[in-house]
C-alpha cells in the first residue's frame, strides 16, 4: 500500500490549497512537517508548521540522517529539510503523508518510499501573475525574475514528475478531484 506522495510547483500554483483540500476530505492524509532554521512567524508552532531548529541543531540532524534531504536558501541564509522522524511517526500511525517539497526531496521520497509525485501547473501565465501579485507586492523586476524562475521550473523540473496537474483559476476542486483519481489509481487507500 502506498502511503507517501509529493506535490511541487511554482509559488502561487495552488500546491498548499490542493493538499489542504485532500486533508479536509480524507482524514488519513496528513501534511508532512519539515524542519527549518528560520524563526517561527506569529501563530506558527514547532511540530505543527515546521520543526524550528537552530542552524547547529539542523546540521547535526543532517549528519545523523534525521534530515536526509535539504536545501539552503541563500538569499535568507535559511535551511529547509525533510524531517524523517516526523514522517516515520506518521507512517507508524497508518497515515498517508503529503509533502509540499522541492524536487530534491521529491526524488528522495520517490526512491525511498515509492512516492507518487505531482507537479502543479498554473492554468495560464496571466492567472499565475494575478495569484502571485495578489499574495505580495512586488516590483516589475521582481515579477520578471519570478516569471523566469517559474518558466525554468516548468521546462526543466515538471517533466520529471509522475503527473502534471493544471490548476485553472477558480477550478481548485477539479484539480483536487484529478489528484484523488490518480492516488486511487496508484493504489493509495484514502479511506
So what's the pLDDT on residue 133? 66
Residue 36 pLDDT exceeds 80: yes
So what's the pLDDT on residue 182? 98
Q: Which CATH number fits domain 1-32+96-191: 3.40.50.1950, 1.20.1530.20, 3.30.470.20, 3.40.50.300?
A: 3.40.50.300
So what's the pLDDT on residue 136? 67
148 compared with 18, residue with greater pLDDT: 18
Residue 121 pLDDT exceeds 80: yes
The architecture in CATH of the region 33-81 reads 2-Layer Sandwich (3.30)
Local confidence band at 14 (pLDDT 50, 70, 90 cut-offs): confident
Give me the residue spans of the domains in the chain: 1-32+96-191, 33-81
So what's the pLDDT on residue 135? 65
Q: Give the model confidence (pLDDT) of 58-113 as tens digits.
A: 999 999 999 999 989 888 899 999 999 999 999 999 999 999 987 778 889 999 99
- The pTM assigned to this predicted structure is 0.85
Q: What is the 3-state secondary structure (H, E, C) of the chain?
A: CCCEEEEECCCCCCHHHHHHHHHHHCCCEEECCCEECCCCCCCCCECCCEEECCHHHHHHHHHCCCCCCEEEECCCCEEEECCHHHHHHHHHCCCEEEEECCHHHHHHHHHHHCCEEEEEEECCHHHHHHHHHHHCCCCHHHHHHHHHHHHHHHHHHHHHCCEEEEECCCCHHHHHHHHHHHHHHCCCCCC
CA angle, residues 129, 131, 137, in degrees to nearest 5: 80
Q: Give the model confidence (pLDDT) of 123-180 as tens digits.
A: 766 776 676 666 667 677 776 777 777 777 777 787 889 999 998 878 999 999 999 9
So what's the pLDDT on residue 142? 74
11 compared with 71, residue with greater pLDDT: 71
So what's the pLDDT on residue 175? 95
33-81 and 1-32+96-191 share a CATH fold: no
Taking the C-alpha atoms of residue 139 and residue 117, their distance in angstroms, rounded to an integer, is 33
Amino acid at each position: 500500500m502506498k502511503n507517501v506522495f509529493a506535490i511541487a510547483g511554482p509559488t502561487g500554483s495552488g500546491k498548499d490549497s490542493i493538499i489542504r483540500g485532500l486533508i479536509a476530505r480524507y482524514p488519513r492524509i496528513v501534511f508532512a512537517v519539515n524542519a527549518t532554521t528560520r524563526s517561527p512567524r506569529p501563530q506558527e508552532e514547532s511540530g505543527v508548521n515546521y520543526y524550528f531548529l537552530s542552524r547547529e541543531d539542523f546540521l547535526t540532524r543532517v549528519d545523523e540522517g534525521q534530515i536526509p534531504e535539504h536545501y539552503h536558501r541563500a538569499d535568507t541564509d535559511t535551511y529547509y529539510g525533510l524531517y524523517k522522524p516526523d514522517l516515520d511517526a506518521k507512517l507508524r500511525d497508518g497515515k498517508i503523508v503529503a509533502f509540499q517539497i522541492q524536487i530534491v526531496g521529491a526524488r528522495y521520497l520517490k526512491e525511498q518510499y515509492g512516492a507518487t509525485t505531482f507537479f502543479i501547473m498554473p492554468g495560464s501565465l496571466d492567472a499565475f501573475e494575478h495569484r502571485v501579485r495578489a499574495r505580495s507586492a512586488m516590483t516589475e523586476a521582481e515579477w520578471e525574475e519570478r516569471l523566469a524562475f517559474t518558466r525554468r521550473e516548468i521546462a526543466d523540473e515538471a517533466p520529471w514528475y509522475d503527473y502534471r496537474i493544471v490548476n485553472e483559476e477558480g477550478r481548485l476542486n477539479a484539480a483536487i478531484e484529478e489528484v484523488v483519481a490518480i492516488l486511487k489509481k496508484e493504489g493509495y487507500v484514502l479511506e
